[in-house]
Structure 1
Amino acid sequence: MSSEQPLRIIHCFRSPVGGIFRHVRDLAEQHSKAGHEVGIVCDSSTGGEHEERLFEQIRPYLSLGLTRLPIRRSVSVRDVRAVWDSYKTIKSLRPDVLHGHGAKGGVLARAIGSVLRVERYRVARVYSPHGGSLHFDPSKLSGRAVFFIERRLERLTDQLLFVCGYEQSVYESKIGNPRCPAQVVYNGIGEQDLSPVPTGPDGASFLYVGMLRDLKGPDVFVDAFARAERAVGHPLSALIIGDGPDRERYERMRTQMGLGLRIDMLPAMPVRDAFARSDIVVVPSRAEAMPYIVLEALGAGKVVIATRVGGIPEVLGEDSEALVAPGSSEELSRVMAKALTSPEWARSIMPDAKTFRARFSASTMAADVMEVYRSRLKTD
């Protein structure tokens, strides 16, 4: 296949929400603009009005269409119908590449791609775990069963693609060293996300943006804010922006700690609108893979303070002074206070802007993924 020939690419995944959906949208846009034909197959039962708006934004780049079918989260006999319907749709589109994202998307892409190969149809089968089955506990029977299946599916995999080194290391520790080609291609953000967002005159001292659930650490943020206030010796301000199941509990927490007037809470909004509210973005997560919020905040020119989890150290630097232990409000508060009182120090420990752009742009991500696609088709 000529390196100049446009490819026909189908992305398969289950739920059109969160990081997977963002990743696929970015790849679809970048590859479509480069002249390739792209389509999506995903679940029809998840997502709401926000996701529908995102689909409308990406439709112009989906020359192979958007196919939505019922794809359940848990394994079910109903999956047979979903697989059959997906197979008929994908076969009719004659893709060169089937790229599965997440556990269910990975099964669909590799199973259907393998059937097409039996029928002597040439297609590259690519799988990006994106967490997915890697979240299972290897000490439990369910986890061991999932990892056994993942190991067997490697036989149907032409390429494993991980969004960060952390994700690859988890795969290796839980499933084993890949028996098929494997590579890390970092998530990237678009040009629209790689320009500074100035903070307004009434900006808060600190900003938290994200889901309101304990896994993401808003409770740690509130406690660390109180400690940082005591450390600097005068009142500060903070803003929590987002929605989630534990919102009311965090509202009670700030009130009970006497912080109701200094920590404001707003519903989710476009992330760059949120960035205009503060110079310092705090990411206090207890667990992550490769969170876009860190990339977006750095792209907007913000100081980022985060926990040492997932792929975050790969972005900020393994030895970055902006990293703290997950769950430690005391350690987090010390860095927050220092960043506020020593802004030059805070800026100096952020990644170099030019290096960051070269490594974490959507164009770099798309080019690296395309190189993988072509290499798999070339060696087929």
Structure 2
Amino acid sequence: MRVLHVISELGPGGAETLVAGMAGRGEEYGWVSAVASAGGFRADALAAAGTPVFPVPLARRSKAGVLKAAWATRRAVARFRPDVVLAHNVGASLVARLACAPGRRRPLLTVFHGVAEDDYPAATRILRRTSDAVIAVSPATADRLTAAGLDRPAVIRNTVFASPPVLGRAEVRASLGVPEQTPVALCLARLEPQKRHDVLLDAWAAVERDAVLWLAGDGSLRADLERRAEALGRRVEFLGTRADVPDLLTAADVTVLTSDWEGLPLAVLESMAAGRPVVATDVGGIGEVLAEGGGLVVPPADPAATAEALNTLLFDEDARKSAAADGLRTVERDYDAHTLMKAYDELLRGAR
């Protein structure tokens, strides 16, 4: 089965992580995979491993941009000749439908990773017109799509394609100038409005004692956030885009995510799989993931609750170890990569 993944970029985000994992593991399930994307370090890694990667310019939410992206994707379809196209998120679904319109009809399925609450009606209208089937990454996301008027989508929960760290805890900390005993919280998130780093920085100002916050990611808000963090000094480090997430997880003690909305973020699952407890807002599928432990959920836009949860997990070793053990059990039981790949394989083959 020839599977073409269409996604805007292949950098450090959760959807990008899923695409890289699926394309990398697809051969085990009889897939021949390719990716149409604007590129990124994950695209480079896939290409180096032999997966065809077709360049597509970013659509950038403009009519001209969408048409340029669709034209490039059409060339990818013509060259790769997929049996099925798997688009990741709404914009990619629109681009892929325009690319696949002429000639032989190919099934187009869309993996919906989530949008802001106000965008669900518009997303639903686009998905109804573009997609032969929609896959939601969590039951909570499927519920919101259904409430917005989409026929109940399939649910295949995100999972972890684990990669072992290259460097150890001491090496990573030494490279970033952090002593071995200093508590470290790690935030794996693009510096964009959705992720609400402003809430996190306000919470960090109320974290007790000496601890360091690593912000791994880049984005349009970086300059504003750096100015906001000046008063916190070396307690906050902006690491930029990183390709060494397993290493950072090894060196951190806790991870934190303060988003206003999510689908089912891979950053939470990666943290739990690495034995790192999570502090995260109760949005999207996060509450379901952490229902049996693995960390603490907090309300969105609540710096005080976020600070309290961080203080608990950073400075209470017993609480941290207990949450880490719970998280590992949850990932091993419910978020296995083989289970995800089998579910997608059955769905894609049934759509052909």
TM class by shorter chain equals 0.7 to 0.9
Cα deviation for residue 374 of structure 1 reads: 2.0
8 Å CA contact 1:196–1:301 kept in 2: the answer is: no
**Residue 260 of structure 1: SS of its match in structure 2?**
helix
Q: Aligned equivalents of 2:234 and 2:78: distance in 1?
A: 58
Give the TM-score, by structure 1 length: 0.76
8 Å CA contact 2:214–2:238 kept in 1: the answer is: yes
Q: Which residue of 2 aligns with 1:221?
A: 200
Cα deviation for residue 81 of structure 1 reads: 5.9
Distance 1:196 1:303, change over 3 A: farther
Distance 1:237 1:70, change over 3 A: closer
Q: Which residue of 1 aligns with 2:233?
A: 260
Distance 1:223 1:369, change over 3 A: same
**Residue 63 of structure 2: SS of its match in structure 1?**
coil
Q: Aligned equivalents of 1:144 and 1:340: distance in 2?
A: 40
Matched to 1:137, the amino acid is D
Q: 2:191 pairs with 205, 208, 212, which one?
A: 212
Cα deviation for residue 26 of structure 1 reads: 1.0
1:231-257: CA deviation from partner (whole Å, max 9, x where unpaired): xxxx2212223334444444444443x
Q: Which residue of 2 aligns with 1:3?
A: none
Q: Which residue of 2 aligns with 1:137?
A: 118
Is 1:125 aligned to 2:99, yes or no? no
Distance 1:326 1:136, change over 3 A: closer
Q: 1:164 pairs with 125, 135, 138, which one?
A: 138
Q: 1:148 pairs with 114, 120, 125, which one?
A: 125
Q: Which residue of 2 aligns with 1:365?
A: 340
Is 1:105 aligned to 2:80, yes or no? no
Deviates more, 1:67-76 or 1:98-107: 67-76
8 Å CA contact 2:59–2:68 kept in 1: the answer is: no
Cα deviation for residue 115 of structure 1 reads: 4.2
8 Å CA contact 1:208–1:218 kept in 2: the answer is: no
* Aligned 1:1-380 pairs, distance under 5 A: 7-17=1-11, 18-43=13-38, 47=39, 51=40, 53-60=41-48, 62=50, 65-70=52-57, 72-76=59-63, 79-80=66-67, 82-84=69-71, 86-113=73-100, 115-117=102-104, 123-131=106-114, 134-135=115-116, 137=118, 147-154=124-131, 157=132, 159-178=133-152, 182-192=153-163, 198=169, 202-209=180-187, 210-229=189-208, 235-242=209-216, 243-256=218-231, 259-269=232-242, 270-317=244-291, 322-350=296-324, 351-377=326-352
Cα deviation for residue 325 of structure 1 reads: 0.6
Distance 1:67 1:331, change over 3 A: same
Distance 1:285 1:195, change over 3 A: farther
Give the TM-score, by structure 2 length: 0.81
8 Å CA contact 1:212–1:218 kept in 2: the answer is: yes
8 Å CA contact 2:116–2:261 kept in 1: the answer is: no
Q: Aligned equivalents of 1:341 and 1:145: distance in 2?
A: 44
**Residue 108 of structure 2: SS of its match in structure 1?**
strand
Cα deviation for residue 370 of structure 1 reads: 0.9
Cα deviation for residue 29 of structure 1 reads: 0.4
Gap runs ≥5 in structure 2: 174-178
8 Å CA contact 1:100–1:128 kept in 2: the answer is: yes
1:197-228: CA deviation from partner (whole Å, max 9, x where unpaired): 75766243241323334532333333323333
Cα deviation for residue 302 of structure 1 reads: 0.9
Distance 1:253 1:366, change over 3 A: same
Cα deviation for residue 77 of structure 1 reads: 5.0
Distance 1:89 1:165, change over 3 A: same
Identity %: 24
Q: Aligned equivalents of 1:266 and 1:77: distance in 2?
A: 34
Q: Aligned equivalents of 1:109 and 1:352: distance in 2?
A: 36
**Residue 70 of structure 1: SS of its match in structure 2?**
coil
Distance 1:280 1:203, change over 3 A: farther
**Which has the greater radius of gyration?**
1
**Residue 327 of structure 1: SS of its match in structure 2?**
coil
Cα deviation for residue 75 of structure 1 reads: 4.3
Q: Aligned equivalents of 2:8 and 2:84: distance in 1?
A: 18
Deviates more, 1:340-349 or 1:17-26: 340-349
Q: Aligned equivalents of 1:352 and 1:177: distance in 2?
A: 33
